[in-house]
Amino acid sequence: MNLKELRELGLSDGQISVYSAVLDLGISSLNKIQEKTGIERRHIYDVLNKLIERGFITYTIEKGKRTYQCTHPNSILDEVKEKEQSLKELKGKIPQMKSLFTLTKPEIRAEIFRGNESIKALMNESLEYKESYWIGGNSGIESTPLKYWFKHWMEKRVKNKHMLNDLVDHGVSLIGLEPRDIKKHKKNYYKYCTLPKNMSSPMVILIFGNKVAQILWGDQSFAFVLESDKIKDSFMKYFNHFWTDPW
């Protein structure tokens, strides 16, 4: 039985493997657990002890040898409920956290987003606003490990009615949102315009709220983000200089 969801309770892959094995086997000897999991004997002892400490597994001693079995799954259900309650309490504190976050902001704030998970967080944050502005085109993401996630992000963006204003290098376009298909663009909350042929943006720039993100797509994408009304306004002047509304 695949119980990978137990990672959400802080269990390692080894602990999940051992717990699953004991659950399948029932009352089990150390040898049987080792045969089923393939984990080295010296490591199984550590894993079992941690599962015993968590209350997920118990043991008995017969003729000097230990046998192991799982406790009732309600022990896991109890932990799930505790985690849900903790997350609910944390969610209730988010407004206060946002207030403190706003109060401590300097006039110009710089952040580095390194790695694909960080880039996902950055792009998801942009969806909290009605629209975003891109310079240089974001099609580069379609050749990175984020390409499948980007498809879902675009669907979420459309669902949120978030307008994407795309000022791209000449000849660049997103898959499925090719130029001149205005009807499809309107349906997908997407506006498209190109820079002059003899110009190209040296990097991809994303503007939303009062943030300007300079993004480098790759196997582990990277972004340098500046948060400042003045800097954002400066980049928007550049954007508007070349922008022609396609609708």
Q: What is the CATH number of the domain that holds 177?
A: 3.30.870.10
Question: Could you tell me where the beta strands, DSSP code E, fall in the chain?
Answer: 28-29, 57-62, 65-70, 109-114, 131-135, 163-168, 190-194, 204-208, 211-216, 222-227
Range of the domain at 60: 4-74
Q: pLDDT per residue over 153-206, tens digit each?
A: 999 999 999 999 999 988 888 888 888 889 999 999 999 999 988 887 768 999
Check which CATH number belongs to the domain holding 28 and give it. Answer: 1.10.10.10
Is 101 within the bounds of a domain?
Answer: no
Q: pLDDT per residue over 119-148, tens digit each?
A: 999 999 999 999 999 998 777 888 899 999
Residue type, 133: Y
Residue 215 confidence (pLDDT) above 70 = yes
Contacts of 73 (CB under 8 A, 6+ apart): none
Residue type, 213: A
The verdict on 61 and 156 lying in the same domain is no
Predicted TM-score of the model (pTM): 0.61
